[in-house]
Structure 1
């Protein structure tokens, strides 16, 4: 009997020793063997599935990015994100996201912005700044967390899910906040996409004015395209150009917000004024791609495939976000952020329409 006790106690003793070793050496070694690749494979599969699902009737109105975060959230909350995938999911949220935003610059040129005209660009800029400020202010009034309000403000005022993700690189909000903001701008952007085409005759808008209105106020690029082209080719083309001109303002917004966040942090912590300010360098990569696309004749083959690659990379990042999102925590946010998203969407629609009617 003594032998039996001895042979059983030895493994228990060995396990006890292993649990005292530094984290990440023994206990997690099996999950570190393949590095980021299990997670990259998972988020890539989700992004690929999202792209395929857009072929299903009725789902084509949603971008692969939106479908990716929904699939990721469903996977995480029903099955659970595998421990082996954690490193790759984190990598996608940080590195792949930034690469996707940088490549987004290849879809823009300075000449597109110029074709909108000074008046059109001023309408877009004023609408963007006013919407962002209103959303932050109203969020504070109704008691929405500032970081979540900033994400909803960015998504509503600029370009939906892409702006939410880019802004979060400096805001550093919780994953549930990002998911909520993406859901908000998707819902209200989709409603706008369906309702706007019903209004031109009632509002007395020309094709040019309707295109400018959609480009200045609807959230996602795909939603703008879907709505604007319902009023004809001219409205569709101008709406797309106006929207892309709005997207280019993503860079100064993220940089400005990053500087404000750093100053706020210094005030709270009492850091010295010469404390190094974190700079979102990927935004300058985005601007560099815009300059490159404006100055150099990029081969048509590359220009054709670039949007597909960019969409896939951003879909991967949103799949990773979904895999990090707990639905129970989303529920805890309550109705107030939803009200904020609705108010922001109504504000941007009304203000941009007034400016278009008065000055366009």
Structure 2
């Protein structure tokens, strides 16, 4: 009778060597919302319930008549630096959509004839400023020793429409997540500064509503900050700024195509800002449809939609501020901010001089 040989015991496990202390220091890129502010790492030691309560109270306040876009941005910034944003993923997802619907709603307070006139007036400024900003950005980026991708993203964001342009050009450029984060953080910090600085400068220089609206549309990056600053200045400034800025945003398409050719990228998909068509449709309805209706029903609904759009814009800026933390700003470094600030100051000063002396 055969006996089964005993099964050999498995060899003793050998303890794996401990990793080198430096191996744990891996820098995780800061993810960014598209078009709003960079993400922040939530402090696990902070009470989540308190953060949610504060967030809810501030959000409700932003829906009241006492709130304004600049104030909403300040409240969001304070929230981010104190208890933190407990709904960061949700606000990051909602911000672009909320901004687009808010812009469409503003169209119900626009006049098509005035919009066409403002668009024609700003077209030369748009072409000259976009081309000049891209060329100057390339030169400054090389001088600062920045990578081509980061330089191009910041230049496009400054030249066209901030985070929306970066979100559109980034995939075409096949940019890395950290490169997108750096560019977005740069333009969002400058957007926050512009939202407060521009109205003060406009009043100090006694700029007209038309002048200020045109200046905002050219020199401020994001549509949200453009509309916020123009709203604080006056209704006519808001009409001019919104129209010129959205006409400027259409340049995302040719600039994206040019980027694919310049960087020799193939098989990329160009993002089209379709919400601009919604704004145009709302403007046309507000201008012509009441003339076809004896009761003018749309004219009664229009002001309500415009008010809802302004509330949506206020909440958008609150969300943007709530995602912009000191940690995210520090993660960017000095050189991208130097590039972004230099481009912003150049386009702001040059456009202001032309507008005041034409």
Alpha-carbon distance in structure 2 between the residues aligned to 1:170 and 1:90: 22
Between Structure 1 and Structure 2, whose CA radius of gyration is higher? Answer: 2
**Displacement, 1:289?**
1.0
Partner of 1:130: 132
Partner of 2:332: 333
Structure 2 unaligned blocks of 5 or more = 1-47, 171-176, 287-297
Residues 123 and 334 (structure 1 numbering): CA distance in 2 closer, same or farther, change over 3 Å? same
Partner of 1:353: 352
Q: 2:178 aligned with 1:178, yes or no?
A: no
Residues 246 and 180 (structure 1 numbering): CA distance in 2 closer, same or farther, change over 3 Å? same
Partner of 1:3: none
Residues 136 and 188 (structure 1 numbering): CA distance in 2 closer, same or farther, change over 3 Å? farther
Residues 255 and 208 (structure 1 numbering): CA distance in 2 closer, same or farther, change over 3 Å? closer
The CA deviation string for residues 281-311 of structure 1, in whole angstroms up to 9 with x for no partner, is: 5x11x12212320232452222321232244
Equivalent residue pairs, number: 280
Partner of 1:222: 228
Partner of 1:164: 163
Partner of 1:24: none
Partner of 2:58: 49
Partner of 1:190: 196
Alpha-carbon distance in structure 2 between the residues aligned to 1:166 and 1:176: 14
Higher helix share: 1
Residues 60 and 253 (structure 1 numbering): CA distance in 2 closer, same or farther, change over 3 Å? same
Q: Which of residues 278, 283, 299 is equivalent to 2:269? A: 278
Higher mean alpha-carbon deviation, 138-147 vs 179-188, is at 138-147
User: Do 2:63 and 2:311's aligned partners in 1 also have CA atoms closer than 8 Å?
Assistant: no
User: Do 1:211 and 1:238's aligned partners in 2 also have CA atoms closer than 8 Å?
Assistant: yes
**Displacement, 1:182?**
0.7
Residues 138 and 67 (structure 1 numbering): CA distance in 2 closer, same or farther, change over 3 Å? farther
Structure 1-normalised TM-score? Answer: 0.60
The CA deviation string for residues 182-236 of structure 1, in whole angstroms up to 9 with x for no partner, is: 1123225533433343234xxxx7665455445543553322444xx4xxxxxx4
The CA deviation string for residues 14-73 of structure 1, in whole angstroms up to 9 with x for no partner, is: xxxxxxxxxxxxxxxxxxxxxxxxx9xx89974862673799x9x967253464356336
Alpha-carbon distance in structure 2 between the residues aligned to 1:187 and 1:63: 13
Aligned-CA RMSD value: 4.2
Alpha-carbon distance in structure 1 between the residues aligned to 2:56 and 2:153: 22
SS of residue in 2 equivalent to 1:114: helix
Residues 43 and 348 (structure 1 numbering): CA distance in 2 closer, same or farther, change over 3 Å? farther
Residues 141 and 209 (structure 1 numbering): CA distance in 2 closer, same or farther, change over 3 Å? same
User: Do 1:132 and 1:153's aligned partners in 2 also have CA atoms closer than 8 Å?
Assistant: yes
**Displacement, 1:164?**
1.8
Q: Which of residues 127, 138, 141 is equivalent to 1:139? A: 141
Structure 1 unaligned blocks of 5 or more = 1-38, 230-235, 268-272
Residues 98 and 218 (structure 1 numbering): CA distance in 2 closer, same or farther, change over 3 Å? closer
Alpha-carbon distance in structure 2 between the residues aligned to 1:342 and 1:243: 21
